[in-house]
C-alpha cells in the first residue's frame, strides 16, 4: 500500500475551512468538525477527516460529494463518503 502525500498544516486548515463552509450551506448539517491529524494540529496532514452531526446523512452526503472542487468520488455510502480534491 502506498503512502498518502502529506501537506503542511496551514494549507490543510485552509482546505478544511473551505470544505466545512461548503457543508454549512446544507440545511441538514448541524455541526462539522475536523478529526485526526488536523484536529490534533499535526505539522503535516495526510488526509482531511471531517465529522458531521446530522439527522439526514443521505442529504448531507449528496451535498458533500457535490463539492465544486472535488475531482472524483472515492466512496459514497449510507453514512460516509470520500472525495479527491486537488
Q: The domain that contains 30 carries what CATH number? A: 3.30.460.10
The pLDDT tens digits for 31-44 are 999 999 999 999 99
The count of structural domains within the chain is 1
Q: What is the spatial distance between Cα 54 and Cα 45, in angstroms, rounded to a whole number?
A: 26
Within a domain: 1: no
Give the mean pLDDT of 10-29: 97
Q: What is the spatial distance between Cα 29 and Cα 18, in angstroms, rounded to a whole number?
A: 15
| Predicted confidence (pLDDT) at residue 2 exceeds the cutoff of 60 | no
Q: Which domain holds residue 72?
A: 7-84
Amino acid at each position: 500500500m502506498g503512502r498518502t502525500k502529506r501537506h503542511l498544516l496551514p494549507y490543510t486548515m485552509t482546505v478544511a475551512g473551505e470544505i466545512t463552509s461548503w457543508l454549512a450551506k446544507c440545511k441538514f448539517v448541524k455541526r462539522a468538525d475536523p478529526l485526526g491529524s488536523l484536529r490534533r494540529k499535526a505539522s503535516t496532514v495526510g488526509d482531511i477527516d471531517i465529522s458531521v452531526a446530522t439527522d439526514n446523512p443521505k442529504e448531507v452526503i449528496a451535498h458533500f460529494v457535490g463539492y465544486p472542487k472535488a475531482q472524483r468520488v472515492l466512496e459514497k455510502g449510507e453514512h460516509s463518503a470520500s472525495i479527491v480534491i486537488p
